[in-house]
Amino acid sequence: MAELVYFTGPMDCGKSTLALQIAYTETEAGRSGRLFTEGDRTGLAMITSRIGLARAAVLVEESLDFWEYVVAELSAGQRLDFLVCDEAQFYTPGQIDQLARIADELGIEVFCFGILTDFRTAMFPASRRLVELCDRMEVLQVRPRCWCGAPATHNARTVDGVMVVEGDQVVVGDTGASNGVVSYQVLCRRHHRLRMTAQVAKADPTPDPLPFE
């Protein structure tokens, strides 16, 4: 039976790279599929990886009905064996239900890639729905690191290197510091709680206070 699989991890863990690798491997095996994305860092209808890989993809807008799209493709004589869905955290919960139906009723493999939680540590609605419905969830083994060297587990939104905890849940940006522009950093849980980004730590080199002081 076809599966709905959710590959997840924090930013910088190689989700888009794996998405493109799976699409390549499936295609090399003689299988036909479609690539989808929403909110790619480039702002284009592309799946792009920070290591330089890129492929064109169908842009997922809120109005897109995956079920209707796939049925129309099949009715037109197109072959579909798999779907690669990048930035799935930005989809709607209803679209996740459609992807589950495609796997169950049409026998098409669905590979989703995304992050679980936003900059406030709250789960994205689509990610929550994926956790509820997926056949299996795979946490990527490539672990980015916080500036302190510890494994990074949380995504922080920053402006001029200063972490912010208010604002819209979805604001597209990339990792790295950008003056006056929203960007993101991956932090360990400790430094996310302390709101200590790499820039803040560099500006204040004093050690963290003991928790009981």
Q: Is 87 a catalytic residue?
A: yes
Residues contacting residue 74 through CB under 8 Å, at least 6 positions apart: 80, 106
Catalytic option among 28, 87, 105, 213: 87
Please give, one letter per residue, the 3-state secondary structure of the chain. Answer: CCCEEEEECCCCCCHHHHHHHHHHHHHHCCCCEEEEECCCCCCCCEEECCCCCEEECEECCCCCCHHHHHHHHHHCCCCCCEEEECCHHHCCHHHHHHHHHHHHHHCCEEEEEECCECCCCCECHHHHHHHHHCCEEEECCCCCECCCCCECCEEEEEECCEEECCCCCCCCCCECCCCCCEEEEEECHHHHHCCCCHHHHHHCCCCCCCCCC
Catalytic residues: 87
